[in-house]
Amino acid sequence: MPAGSSGGYHRRPCDGDGLGPRVWGRPVSAPLRLTSFPKCGPPELPGWPSRDLQGFPWPSSLCAPPPDPPSGAVRSGAEPAAAEGRGAGISSLTMDPECSQLLPALCAVLADPRQPMADDTCLEKLLDWFKTITEAGSSLLLLQENPCLVELLCHMLKPQDLSSRVLSFSLRLTGVFAAQEDCFQYLQQGELLPRLFGEAGPLGGAAWTAPTVRSGWIQGLRSLARHPSALHFLADCGAVDTIFSLQGDSSLFVASAAGQLLVHILGLSMQGPADGPPSLQAGDWPACAQKIVGHIEESLRSMATPQITQALNVLTTTFGHCHDPWTRVLWVRLSPLVAGLLEKDPVPAAHSLVDLLLSVARSPGLSSSSCGLWETLAQTLSRLSPTQAGPLALGILKLQDCSQALRAQAFAVLLQPLACVLKATAQAPGASGVLDGTVGDFATVDTLLPSKAACVGLLCRTLAHLELLLPLPQRPCPWPQAPLLGAAVTLLQLCQGSASPTSDTGRHLCALLLGCVRVQRAALDFLGTLSQGTGPPELVTEVFAVLLEYLRSPDSSPTVLKKAFQATFRWLLSSPKTPGCWDLDPQALLFLRELLPVLQKRLCSPCWEVRDSGLEFLTQMTGRWGGQAGFRHTLLASEVPKLTEQLLRDPESYVRASAVAATGQLSSQGLCISPASPEHPGGQQKSPLSELLHILSTDSEGFPRRAAMHVFTQWLRDSHADVVGDTEEFVAGVLQVASQDLDWEVRAQGLELALVFLEQTLGQPGSPCPYAVTPPVVAPACPLAQALQPLCRVRLFEFAFRALFDCDRPVAQKSCDLLLFLRAKMASSSSPQEARSSPDVASVEAALQRWQAGDQAQPLGDLEPEVVLAVLKSMDLEGLRGALAESSDHVEKSPQSLLQDMLATVGILGENEADCY
């Protein structure tokens, strides 16, 4: 059971009848009667460790605070750095007495192999807590005040059947303590560190087989390695060699952590002693750094790919994280070896090599051409296969400063697969245009064609890379827009089977790509992105043709269709505009006329995803061009508005929600037509407003109701014709339905609508940005109380007060904000009528208190503005807002609660298991 949970069925282990008080949330009055700690004397007993550690001379300072703690070792718990620490929400930055009291028992539990921890997230939280404490104060002091901690660590040294989790935890905890140099020295004196991290510790034992122990060992050292003393320690205990071997660990986590630790140690050792930075001559580097670099060199020379990969990964991290001058020396020293890798066939560890080269290229100190980096990159580009070279090419093109020649080469590599596609499908040679120059490499054709998987993978990656590149300012210039458009269109045609290539390669490509949904999706996305640029008119015509083909095709999968809709919208957006007119150009209108019958059919699709995408597309289009004559005329001539209205009754809730949004948009633009529907022949069609209100009050699913609330809010904002007629009736009706909704998002959206109404009634709130151009504030000409009359009439306050005590926090927060806004209004205007002491106020306050207590049955009745103002004034809204801002488990999230939780969990573990059966 994790800390902070509130299950009432936990029992304390020592409560004989199991009916004792709950453990967390309050201090435990009596010490726990835990008898399982084998060597657990009372923590205050001085000198017990010396008995345990057989003659080890513990310094006398163990039981007393050191006379002169190092400056800065004890820091105020309120330091900002600590306050922002990674305390995982555990608020206390110092060890409070209650926790100190619980700690010995907990340590005893941890050290007892018979009481296994069921949930190691507790250990993680505990460790986080210790990190927070040690970041805020002295570790040494902590250990001295809580000897049970050292006792726990010492306990780990004994040969026994300890849980690997606890052992791992202890190693990490030791590292956390030893991160401070004085504490490190203290633990060193007791030889605890060499015994834990050296050969004598778990390293040589059976526990080492558990990956979690190896990981704990690495993380412990990672925390510990913060100061020069730690470097000596690492050298003395031979840890670096162990880390080398752990780089190839069977557990990926351990292997990766080992690599990172090496990087950390290298960085630490290169920071140099206090007397100055280390020499920039590689030969003068500290022994530890020399050793690590030597190991990397050896690995790079190795024939085994895993070793090369490890070395490259270490270097990638190094150059990625550290930009000190010595990294340049390191690169100069290692770059010949890295270049040597390129001479092997095939190039080993190509992915890691690419990562390294990009990491080096991005490093500020190294990216100049003097390091020979550009040459290496150019050589790599030409040596790697198109699949491997793609990411490198993209990385190069993203670099801010690199030679034009290299950029051109990288771009050519990136374009190669598409150039191949164009060449394979070209009716006449040379038709692929700018991309032509990039072809000529048979390797690409070979990579493209051997299998469907390879071909699809390469093409998808290429399209994704180009899509990433397109919006960047440093994208290659000139950008080959037309050939790329051609390539995207050709790919889509190949996937659809509508291309008719004449070459064998083209036919083969067609057979590979036919019906491939992945390529279709990637190509449609790419095509959509390309809409940002312009293309030759004949190509744009082809784009629209291929999009229409996809939208029409019965074989387009729902996801492909959605992408086709998205791409179509983007292309329609980018279609050339007539100056001074926002309407679609004649060509786009022509396209639209062909598109609408397709959309019509899609809205009748048996597949709900298709109906949904169709409606979303319609909503987008209407939102953008709903006011334009050409669009309106075409849309109204189609069946689409009628179908949309029918889809409000779709059996699928997502579709109903999209239909609600579409209807809202159509209605806003006056595009809803109301002929008699086949379902109600002769009957009068309901207005969109009553349709949506019906959905809001009766729909069994949340999505359509939420969508209806969004539409209503938007209508109110836009002063929709149906709303303007009688706004108060509209708002009152909507709020009444929304207040009874079980979905919190609907209620929250109700508050949004209330806020819009409030703003419209009382005027906009002041803009928070002093430089913003604020619209002229429509200040109420009348006194505030009078201005509040409409709000009272629509029962907005009853809705807001009810929401204030909503069981869902976001609703309560939103309501709180709304009322605070209103109170701010109040403060800014004079309110002559005070009704502070009227009996109405008292009864309202009493009702609100009952509401807060959970009894919301009683309505507030008709409220007078004065009463509202008085109630608002008297409420502690700021306090409520503060309370609501706290996370729901803030009460439970204390270190003390964590400790109690852990103790309780361990104690009742057996009982729980029994209960399960």
Partner 1 sequence: MKLYCLSGHPTLPCNVLKFKSTTIMLDCGLDMTSTLNFLPLPLVQSPRLSNLPGWSLKDGNAFLDKELKECSGHVFVDSVPEFCLPETELIDLSTVDVILISNYHCMMALPYITEHTGFTGTVYATEPTVQIGRLLMEELVNFIERVPKAQSASLWKNKDIQRLLPSPLKDAVEVSTWRRCYTMQEVNSALSKIQLVGYSQKIELFGAVQVTPLSSGYALGSSNWIIQSHYEKVSYVSGSSLLTTHPQPMDQASLKNSDVLILTGLTQIPTANPDGMVGEFCSNLALTVRNGGNVLVPCYPSGVIYDLLECLYQYIDSAGLSNIPFYFISPVANSSLEFSQIFAEWLCHNKQTKVYLPEPPFPHAELIQTNKLKHYPSLHGDFSSDFRQPCVVFTGHPSLRFGDVVHFMELWGKSSLNTVIFTEPDFSYLEALAPYQPLAMKCIYCPIDTRLNFIQVSKLLKEVQPLHVVCPEQYTQPPPAQSHRMDLMIDCQPPAMSYRRAEVLALPFKRRYEKIEIMPELADALVPMEIKPGISLATVSAVLHTKDNKHVLQPPPRPAQPTGGKKRKRASDDIPDCKVLKPLLSGSIPVEQFVQTLEKHGFSDIKVEDTAKGHIVLLQEAETLIQIEEDSTHIICDNDEMLRVRLRDLVLKFLQKF
d(CA 590, CA 528): 20
The answer to whether 658 and 618 have CB atoms below 8 angstroms apart is no
**In the complex, minimum distance from the CB of residue 555 to partner 1, in angstroms, rounded to a whole number:** 4
**In the complex, minimum distance from the CB of residue 747 to partner 1, in angstroms, rounded to a whole number:** 29
Closest CB to partner 1 among residues 111, 516: 516
Angle at 513 between CA 510 and CA 517, to 5 degrees: 145
Residue count (the chain): 917
d(CA 577, CA 423): 34
Closest CB to partner 1 among residues 100, 605: 605
Angle at 876 between CA 871 and CA 809, to 5 degrees: 105
**In the complex, minimum distance from the CB of residue 525 to partner 1, in angstroms, rounded to a whole number:** 22
Closest CB to partner 1 among residues 61, 698: 698
Closest CB to partner 1 among residues 75, 507: 507
Closest CB to partner 1 among residues 383, 642: 642
d(CA 21, CA 829): 54
Residue 735 φ then ψ, to 5° = -65, -35
Closest CB to partner 1 among residues 45, 607: 607
Closest CB to partner 1 among residues 66, 558: 558
In the chain, what is the greatest distance between 2 CA atoms, to the nearest angstrom? 103
d(CA 316, CA 481): 34
The answer to whether 88 and 156 have CB atoms below 8 angstroms apart is no
User: Structure tokens of 77?
Assistant: 């718990």
**In the complex, minimum distance from the CB of residue 425 to partner 1, in angstroms, rounded to a whole number:** 10
Report which residue type is found at 400. Q
d(CA 873, CA 837): 12
The answer to whether 546 and 485 have CB atoms below 8 angstroms apart is no
Helix runs in 765-855, H state only: 784-787, 789-793, 796-804, 809-828, 839-852
**In the complex, minimum distance from the CB of residue 618 to partner 1, in angstroms, rounded to a whole number:** 16
Which helix or strand (DSSP H or E) is residue 299 part of? helix 287-301
Q: Summarize as ranges the residues that interact with partner 1 (CB under 8 A).
A: 497, 500-502, 506-508, 510-511, 514-515, 553-556, 600-602, 604-608, 610, 639, 642-643, 646, 649-652, 678-679
**In the complex, minimum distance from the CB of residue 550 to partner 1, in angstroms, rounded to a whole number:** 12
Concatenated DSSP letters for 237-285?
TTHHHHHHHHTT-SSHHHHHHHHHHHHHHHHHHHH--TT-PPPSSGGGS
**In the complex, minimum distance from the CB of residue 605 to partner 1, in angstroms, rounded to a whole number:** 5
User: For residues 108, 113, 114 and 119, what is the CA-based torsion angle, rounded to 10 degrees?
Assistant: 80
Closest CB to partner 1 among residues 42, 683: 683
**In the complex, minimum distance from the CB of residue 633 to partner 1, in angstroms, rounded to a whole number:** 19
**In the complex, minimum distance from the CB of residue 607 to partner 1, in angstroms, rounded to a whole number:** 6
Closest CB to partner 1 among residues 385, 605: 605
Helix axes 586-603, 608-625, angle to 10 degrees: 150
Report which residue type is found at 178. A
Closest CB to partner 1 among residues 649, 823: 649
The answer to whether 780 and 763 have CB atoms below 8 angstroms apart is yes
**Number of alpha carbons in the 13 Å side-chain half-sphere of residue 823:** 15
Please name which of 649, 418, 379, 644 lies closest in space to residue 530, comparing C-alpha atoms.
418
Closest CB to partner 1 among residues 50, 600: 600
d(CA 265, CA 254): 16
**In the complex, minimum distance from the CB of residue 610 to partner 1, in angstroms, rounded to a whole number:** 8
User: Structure tokens of 394?
Assistant: 């993209």
**Number of alpha carbons in the 13 Å side-chain half-sphere of residue 208:** 14
Closest CB to partner 1 among residues 22, 694: 694
**In the complex, minimum distance from the CB of residue 601 to partner 1, in angstroms, rounded to a whole number:** 4
**In the complex, minimum distance from the CB of residue 427 to partner 1, in angstroms, rounded to a whole number:** 12
